[in-house]
C-alpha cells in the first residue's frame, strides 16, 4: 500500500481500523498534542466559534418569540390558522437546513471554506435584522407573512451551510491528536447561541416590561444581530483559507463535482449514511431532548411559567456547557465513539426516571393527579388520528381527536377505551359525570371544570415551582430541577462535544464540507427538529405524558447498535488522506484479504 505525504512528513495511509501500524502518526500526534495552542489557532477557533454563536442566536430567536410573532405577522387570520402559519414558519427553518448543507457544502468544496461560511453568516445576520424591521400584517397584510417565511427559509439555508464550514475549518487547522479539543469549541456554539438568545430576551423583557415588549420591544433582539454580524464579518475577513484545502487547491486535486462524488458513489455515500444513522441521529435526539424538549416539557406539560422555565434552562446551560470542551478533549484520548455512543446509551436508560423526578419537583400536585386520578376516553379508535403535525398545517377535527388534543394540552394522563361502531366520544374522570365530546360546543370548558372538580390542579397552583429572579436558586425545587436539567445538558455535551471531529475525520478533504454537512443537518434538522411535534403526537395518541420520551430513546438505542458495528473509530486518522473512511467490518475484511 502507498503512503501519503503530509506537511513534509511521510505518514502511513492506514489507521488503526485498517489493522495496520500508525506509529508514525501516533508520534506526530503526541508531539502536536504536547505543544500549547498557538495565537493563530486561538484566532481560528475564536473566529469560527463566535460567528457560529451568532448564527445560532439568530436562529433561536424565532422559536423563543414564536407566540408574539404569530400575533404580529398572522393577525389577519383566525387564531387557529394564525398558529398554524407560525408553526409552519418555525418548521421551515429546520426543514430547509439539509438543502443549505447541499448548496453551501458544494460551494465550500469548490471555492473554499473561508469564503463560503463568510457568505452564510451574512445571509443569516441580514435575514434576522430584516425580521426586526419588517412591517407587520396590520401594515402590509399577508405580504408580511410571506416575507417572514422567506426570511425564515433563508435562515435555515444559511445555518445548513454554516456548521459544516466552521467545523471543517477548525478541524483542518487543528494539530494531530487535538482535533476533538479544538472542534469542541464549535460545539459549544449551539448551546451558547440558545443561552444568549434567552439572556437577551429576558433582559429586554425585564427592562421594558411585558406590555412594551409585546408591542414593539420584541424587535430589539432581532435588531441587535446587526452588531453581532458586523463583529463576525470583521473577524472572519482576517482569516486565511484552511491548510488542507489550500494544499489541495495548490495541487489541483479539488473535486469538480462534490455532490455527485459524495453521494453518487456508493463508497462515499455509505459513509454518510453510517454517519447519519450511527452517530448523528442519536446525537440529534439527545441534544433536542436535553434542551428543547426539556423546555417544552417544563412549560407545556408541567405548566411552569415562561420566566422560571427560561431561568432554569439558562442555569443548566451555564453549569453544563464546559463539558463540551471536556468531552472533546477526552475524545482525543479514548476515541469519539465511546463518548458519543455512551452518551446515547446513558440518556436512553435514564430519561424516564429523570423526567418523572422533574415532574414531582416542578409540579407536585399535578404529578399526584397523574398517579391517583383515573381518566378514561371512550371512543372508537378507528375514528382517532395520530396527530403528527410538524408543520402545523394539518387539522384534526373529529371528536376523538379534539378530545385527545384537549387532554394532552391539559397534561392529563388517560387511557382509551375502544368502543367499536359507537360514534359517541366521552371523557370519564374519576367519579365525575362523563363529559361528552361529540356535538358539544362547550366541551373544552366542561372538561376543564370537571378536571378541577376531580382534583387536577389549575395551571398556577401553589405547588408549581416559581422563581422570583435569576438568583432564586437556593431552595429545594429550583435547585433540584437545575440539577436534573444539568444532567440532561451533560448528556448533550457527551454526544455533541466530539461529533464535529468524528464527522470531519470520516471524509476526504475534497468532499469533506459537502459530505459531513448533509448527515449532520438531516439528523439535527429532521430527527431532532421534529422531536416536539412527534412527542406531542405520541402523548396525545397514548394519553401518557411521558410516552413522547420513547422517540429519543428508541432512536438513541438504534444509534448505539449501528454505531457500534458500522462506524469506525477515527481519532488517529490522517485527515490529509484522500481516501474515504471505512466501516470496521469492511476494514477488517480488507485487511484479512
- Look up the pTM and report it: 0.81
Stated as kind and residue range, the H or E segment containing 212 is: helix 210-212
Cβ–Cβ under 8 Å, residues 42 and 185: no
Q: Which of 380, 389, 390 is nearest to 418 (CA)?
A: 380
Enumerate residue ranges in the chain where pLDDT < 70: 1-36, 55, 59, 63, 76-91, 244, 251, 253-257, 387-396, 576-593
475 and 537 part of one domain? yes
* Per-residue model confidence (pLDDT) at position 450: 94
* Per-residue model confidence (pLDDT) at position 573: 85
381 and 317 part of one domain? no
Q: What sign has the CA pseudo-torsion 227, 233, 236, 238?
A: negative
Q: Which of 491, 486, 502, 485 is nearest to 184 (CA)?
A: 502
Cβ–Cβ under 8 Å, residues 52 and 170: no
**530 located within any domain:** yes
443 and 489 part of one domain? no
Q: Where are the beta strands (DSSP E) in 375-514?
A: 375-379, 415-418, 426-429, 435-436
171 and 301 part of one domain? yes
Residues 6+ apart with CB under 8 A from 450: 427, 429, 432, 433, 435
DSSP 70-133: HHHHSTTS-HHHHHHHHHHHHHHHHHTHHHHHHHHHHHHHHH-HHHHHHHHHHHHHHHHHHHHH
Domain that holds residue 436: 370-454
Residues 6+ apart with CB under 8 A from 442: none
**5 located within any domain:** no
Query: What is the number of other CB atoms lying within 10 angstroms of the CB of residue 38?
Result: 11
**105 located within any domain:** yes
336 and 385 part of one domain? no
* Per-residue model confidence (pLDDT) at position 20: 35
Q: What are phi and psi of 435, to 5 degrees?
A: -110, 120
* Per-residue model confidence (pLDDT) at position 340: 97
**506 located within any domain:** yes
162 and 306 part of one domain? yes
Q: Could you give the number of structural domains in the chain?
A: 2
Q: Which of 400, 424, 454 is the last residue of a domain?
A: 454
- Residue 385 sits in a domain whose CATH number is 3.40.30
Q: Which long-range contacts (CB under 8 A, 24 or more apart) does 237-240 make?
A: 237/118, 238/43, 238/47, 239/43, 239/44, 239/47, 239/114, 239/169, 240/114
* Per-residue model confidence (pLDDT) at position 579: 52
Q: Pairing state of beta strands 415-418 and 426-429? A: unpaired
**37 located within any domain:** no
* Per-residue model confidence (pLDDT) at position 188: 86
- Nine cell digits for residue 567: 462506524
437 and 551 part of one domain? no
Q: Which residue has the cell 397552583?
A: 461
Burial of 388 (0-12, 13-18, 19+ CB in 10 A): middle
* Per-residue model confidence (pLDDT) at position 258: 74
160 and 277 part of one domain? yes
Q: How far is CA 328 from the centre of its chain?
A: 18
**30 located within any domain:** no
496 and 574 part of one domain? yes
For the chain, helix, strand, coil in percent to 5 are 70, 5, 25
575 and 496 part of one domain? yes
172 and 254 part of one domain? yes
Q: Which of 419, 454, 489 is the last residue of a domain?
A: 454
Q: Which of 454, 489, 518 is the last residue of a domain?
A: 454
- Residue 69 sits in a domain whose CATH number is 1.20.1250.20
Integer Cα distance of 333 and 323 in angstroms:
15
**39 located within any domain:** no
**585 located within any domain:** yes
432 and 547 part of one domain? no
Amino acid at each position: 500500500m502507498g503512503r501519503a505525504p503530509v506537511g513534509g512528513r511521510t505518514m502511513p495511509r492506514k489507521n488503526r481500523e485498517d489493522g495496520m501500524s500508525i506509529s508514525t502518526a501516533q508520534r506526530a500526534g503526541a508531539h502536536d498534542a504536547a505543544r500549547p495552542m498557538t495565537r493563530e489557532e486561538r484566532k481560528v477557533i475564536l473566529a469560527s466559534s463566535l460567528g457560529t454563536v451568532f448564527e445560532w442566536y439568530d436562529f433561536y430567536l424565532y422559536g423563543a418569540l414564536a407566540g408574539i410573532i404569530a400575533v404580529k405577522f398572522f393577525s389577519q387570520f383566525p387564531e387557529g390558522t394564525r398558529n398554524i402559519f407560525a408553526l409552519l414558519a418555525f418548521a421551515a427553518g429546520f426543514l430547509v437546513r439539509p438543502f443549505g448543507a447541499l448548496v453551501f457544502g458544494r460551494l465550500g468544496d469548490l471555492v473554499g471554506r473561508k469564503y463560503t461560511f463568510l457568505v452564510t453568516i451574512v445571509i443569516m445576520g441580514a435575514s434576522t435584522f430584516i425580521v426586526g424591521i419588517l412591517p407587520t400584517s396590520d401594515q402590509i397584510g399577508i405580504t408580511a407573512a410571506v416575507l417572514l417565511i422567506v426570511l425564515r427559509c433563508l435562515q435555515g439555508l444559511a445555518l445548513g451551510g454554516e456548521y459544516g464550514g466552521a467545523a471543517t475549518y477548525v478541524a483542518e487547522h487543528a494539530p494531530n491528536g487535538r482535533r476533538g479539543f479544538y472542534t469542541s469549541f464549535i460545539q459549544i456554539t449551539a448551546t451558547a447561541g440558545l443561552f444568549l438568545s434567552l439572556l437577551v430576551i429576558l433582559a429586554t423583557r425585564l427592562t421594558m416590561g411585558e406590555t412594551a415588549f409585546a408591542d414593539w420591544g420584541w424587535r430589539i433582539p432581532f435588531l441587535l444581530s446587526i452588531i453581532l454580524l458586523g463583529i463576525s464579518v470583521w473577524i472572519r475577513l482576517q482569516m486565511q483559507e484552511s491548510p488542507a484545502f489550500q494544499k489541495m487547491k495548490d495541487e489541483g486535486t479539488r473535486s469538480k463535482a462534490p455532490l455527485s462524488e459524495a453521494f453518487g458513489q456508493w463508497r462515499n455515500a455509505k459513509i454518510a449514511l453510517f454517519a447519519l444513522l450511527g452517530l448523528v441521529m442519536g446525537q440529534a435526539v439527545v441534544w433536542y431532548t436535553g434542551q428543547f424538549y426539556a423546555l417544552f416539557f417544563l412549560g407545556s406539560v408541567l405548566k411552569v411559567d415562561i420566566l422560571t422555565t427560561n431561568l432554569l434552562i439558562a442555569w443548566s446551560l451555564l453549569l453544563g456547557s464546559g463539558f463540551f470542551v471536556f468531552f472533546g478533549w477526552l475524545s482525543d484520548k479514548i476515541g469519539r465513539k465511546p463518548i458519543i455512543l455512551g452518551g446515547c446509551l446513558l440518556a436512553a436508560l435514564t430519561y424516564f426516571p429523570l423526567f418523572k423526578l422533574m415532574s414531582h419537583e416542578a409540579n407536585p400536585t399535578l404529578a399526584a393527579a397523574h398517579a391517583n386520578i383515573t381518566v378514561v376516553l371512550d371512543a372508537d379508535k378507528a375514528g382517532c388520528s395520530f396527530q403528527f403535525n410538524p408543520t402545523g398545517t394539518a387539522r384534526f377535527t373529529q371528536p376523538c381527536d379534539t378530545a385527545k388534543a384537549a387532554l394532552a394540552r391539559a397534561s392529563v394522563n388517560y387511557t382509551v377505551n375502544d368502543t367499536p361502531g359507537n360514534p359517541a366520544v366521552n371523557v370519564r374522570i374519576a367519579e365525575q359525570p362523563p363529559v361528552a365530546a361529540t356535538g358539544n360546543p362547550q366541551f373544552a370548558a366542561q372538561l376543564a371544570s370537571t378536571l378541577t372538580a376531580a382534583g387536577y390542579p389549575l395551571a398556577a397552583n401553589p405547588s408549581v415551582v416559581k422563581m422570583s429572579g435569576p438568583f432564586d436558586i437556593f431552595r429545594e425545587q429550583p435547585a433540584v430541577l437545575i440539577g436534573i436539567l444539568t444532567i440532561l445538558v451533560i448528556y448533550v455535551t457527551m454526544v455533541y462535544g466530539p461529533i464535529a471531529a468524528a464527522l470531519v475525520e470520516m471524509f476526504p478533504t475534497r468532499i469533506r464540507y459537502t459530505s459531513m454537512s448533509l448527515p449532520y443537518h438531516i439528523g439535527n434538522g429532521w430527527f431532532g427538529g421534529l422531536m416536539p411535534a412527534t412527542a406531542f403526537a405520541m402523548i396525545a395518541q397514548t394519553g401518557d405524558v411521558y410516552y413522547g420520551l420513547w422517540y429519543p430513546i428508541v432512536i438513541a438505542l438504534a444509534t448505539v447498535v449501528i454505531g457500534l458495528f458500522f462506524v469506525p473509530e477515527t481519532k488517529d486518522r490522517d485527515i490529509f488522506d484522500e481516501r474515504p473512511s471505512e466501516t470496521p467490518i469492511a476494514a477488517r475484511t480488507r485487511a484479512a484479504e
